[in-house]
Structures are given as structure tokens and as C-alpha cells.
């Protein structure tokens, strides 16, 4: 298994050779990230039934039991020294894997550039059939340090004025609604925990897809800014994806992590740029279907700075 570790300021792509990664720490999730209602969808007139690994068999989550986070990726090429070190990983997903149609070849490149910039490039090709592809980088971030406690006092800003509301299983209803006058409003930066008690349905924290401003464009756009006041560390994220899943680690419990440290709820923050969840069952959502002539491309850029104020 591959291991790429960050510094003490964050949790990033840290597998320690352990394929049994139930929290998806630092994993690449797919073939379709997030949830698919009923563990099925229809494409070009054909009904495809998937591995129903979520909600007691009622939906598919992160591609199924053998999703992209649970397979071995090959190192295609890498450069570990010089001004721009990088690593490129590849994975061939066979036709019918977890129920998805068509064979897919995917490449992921992690690259460091300039001082304190990390780029992630995800590309996939449908080799013989149309198929949905929606990959996400499932990193947990804690800018105070992985063993510094929770992220609830960090400041967060998200460049999104709308969300896709969900049902009790966190599956989108198909609506796209405004965040104004709701606890989901992060258009202006504020401390994460400020409005958590106002979340509906007794939610313990955030786990929702935000519709990024300008989502119709496939150009790079601002996604989010996270600020840890104690350390002064700032992380800015931009992407060409239409959405981002905010997850505050609500369900983490007794997870053994870096250096043997045990992570509890809210130990890290996920900002997973993505296509809208369950888009295969909502024609009004941006399509995530790729074809042999229309490849998948997903870019992320993380920029780290220090706020000296």
C-alpha cells in the first residue's frame, strides 16, 4: 500500500499500509463518491444495480464495499526530490465492478509546488461504455495539529450560497436551496461550532453538499478557507468541481491514527470537492457521466499560509 504523509498540521493520505480504512482517512473515494439512492440508477435505458453497502442495504456509499478507497493503486511515476516533487497513482476498474457499467482507468497525481502549495489532479477514462465517475479526496484536516483536539473552533468560509438538502440517509432530495438565514451559511467566515446547535433533525455536525458559486463553469473557482487562530495556519482550497461536501468528523470514535493517537468526533474536517451526490438519479444536477470520448477531470489546489495577526 502507498503512504504519503503530511506534517504535524494535518491528516493527509495516511494509510500506514492498512487496507481496512473504515474512516476513509486520506483515501480516494469512488467510482462514485458519496451516496446513490436505492443502490441503483438507469443509464441509456439500462438499470444498473450496485453494491448496497450503506443504510442497511438501502443505498451505495463511496462506490461500494470494494470502492476505490479499498483497492491497491499502482505507482505509475514519481519524483521525490527537486522543486516540484509528485507522485502519480493509477487504478483499472473492471466492467461490472460493484455493479457499475464499463471499464475505467483512473490516474491521480499529488504534487507540491512553490512554497506550501499542494495540487491534486484526478483523471479517468471510460474505456468501453458510458458510466458515472465522481472521485473525491477524503482527507481530514486539522490545522492545529493532528493531536491538537477538535476543529470546532476553527473559522470556516465556503464560497457557496446554496446546498443540496438531504433526507434522513443523507441522500439529496433533488432540491437546491439557499443557505441564507440557515446554520449552513458560511459565506462569511465564522467559527464552525457557532450554529451547529441549529442544525435540523438533531444533527451532531455538518455533512452536506454545498453548491459552489459558479458551479456551472468547469474552471477553477474558490471553494473554502479554513483558519486555525491558535497556530495562525490558513488553508485555501480551489477546484473546478461543482460541489464540496463539508463533513466535520461527527462519527469519528476511537480511531487509531498517526503516531498511535486516538481520534474522536470532530478531530478533523473534510472538504471533499465533488459532483453533486446521487446525480445519476437527479437530472437537474450536473451530469457525472463520462464516455469513451468525454473523460473525467477534477482539479484541486490547496494553498497554506500563516496569518500573523
**Exposed, middle or buried: residue 43 (CB in 10 Å: 0-12, 13-18, 19+)?**
middle
Please pick, among 14, 62, 138, 282, the residue that the annotation labels catalytic: 138
Q: Which of 97, 98, 155, 272 is catalytic?
A: 272
309/145 Cα distance (integer angstroms): 19
Residue by residue, DSSP assigns 136-163 as: EEE--B-TT-TTS--STTSEEEESEEEE
C-alpha cell at 72: 491497491
Whether 114 sits among the annotated catalytic residues: the reply is no
CA neighbor of 68 nearest in space, from 102, 119, 34: 34
90, three cell numbers: 493509477
CA distance 275 to 120: 16
Catalytic annotation on 14? no
Between CA 258 and CA 263 the distance in angstroms is 9
207 is in an annotated binding site: yes
Residue positions counted in the chain? 309
21 close to 15: Cβ distance less than 8 angstroms: yes
Find where cell 488553508 sits.
Answer: 235
φ and ψ at residue 195, rounded to 5 degrees: -115, 10
Q: How far is CA 99 from CA 31, 34, 40, 52, 55, in A?
A: 10, 16, 9, 10, 18
Bridge partners of 155? 191, 227
Beta bridge partners of 112: 118
Grid cell 491534486 in the structure block, residue? 120
Catalytic residues: 138, 272
Question: Would you list which residues are annotated within the binding site?
Answer: 34-35, 207
Question: Would you list which residues are annotated within the binding site for beta-D-galactose?
Answer: 34-35, 207
Amino acid at each position: 500500500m502507498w503512504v504519503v504523509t503530511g506534517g504535524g498540521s494535518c491528516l493527509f493520505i495516511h494509510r500506514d499500509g492498512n487496507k481496512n480504512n473504515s474512516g476513509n482517512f486520506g483515501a480516494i473515494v469512488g467510482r462514485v463518491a458519496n451516496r446513490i439512492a436505492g443502490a441503483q440508477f438507469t443509464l441509456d435505458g439500462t438499470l444498473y444495480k450496485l453494491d448496497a453497502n450503506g443504510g442497511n442495504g438501502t443505498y451505495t456509499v463511496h462506490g461500494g464495499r470494494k470502492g476505490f478507497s479499498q483497492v491497491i493503486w499502482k505507482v505509475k511515476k514519481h519524483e521525490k526530490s527537486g522543486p516540484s516533487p509528485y507522485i502519480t497513482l493509477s487504478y483499472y476498474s473492471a466492467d461490472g465492478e460493484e455493479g457499475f457499467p464499463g471499464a475505467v482507468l483512473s490516474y491521480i497525481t499529488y504534487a507540491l509546488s512553490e512554497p506550501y502549495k499542494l495540487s491534486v489532479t484526478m483523471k479517468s477514462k471510460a474505456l468501453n461504455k458510458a458510466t458515472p465517475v465522481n472521485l473525491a479526496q477524503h482527507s481530514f484536516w486539522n490545522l492545529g495539529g493532528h493531536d491538537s483536539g477538535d476543529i470546532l473552533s476553527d473559522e470556516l468560509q465556503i464560497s457557496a450560497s446554496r446546498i443540496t438538502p438531504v433526507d434522513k440517509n443523507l441522500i439529496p432530495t433533488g432540491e437546491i436551496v439557499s443557505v441564507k438565514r440557515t446554520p449552513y451559511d458560511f459565506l462569511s467566515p465564522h467559527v464552525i461550532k457557532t450554529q451547529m446547535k441549529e442544525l435540523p433533525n438533531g444533527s451532531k455536525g455538518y455533512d452536506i453538499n454545498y453548491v459552489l458559486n459558479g458551479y456551472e463553469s468547469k474552471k477553477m473557482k474558490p471553494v473554502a478557507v479554513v483558519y486555525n487562530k491558535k497556530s495562525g495556519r490558513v488553508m485555501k482550497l480551489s477546484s473546478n468541481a461543482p460541489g464540496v461536501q463539508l463533513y466535520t468528523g461527527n462519527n469519528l470514535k476511537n480511531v487509531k491514527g498517526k503516531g498511535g493517537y486516538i481520534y474522536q468526533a470532530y478531530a478533523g474536517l473534510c472538504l471533499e470537492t465533488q459532483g453533486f451526490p446521487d446525480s445519476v438519479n437527479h437530472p437537474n444536477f450536473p451530469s457525472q457521466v463520462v464516455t469513451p470520448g468525454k473523460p473525467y477531470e477534477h482539479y484541486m489546489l490547496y494553498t497554506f499560509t500563516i496569518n500573523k495577526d
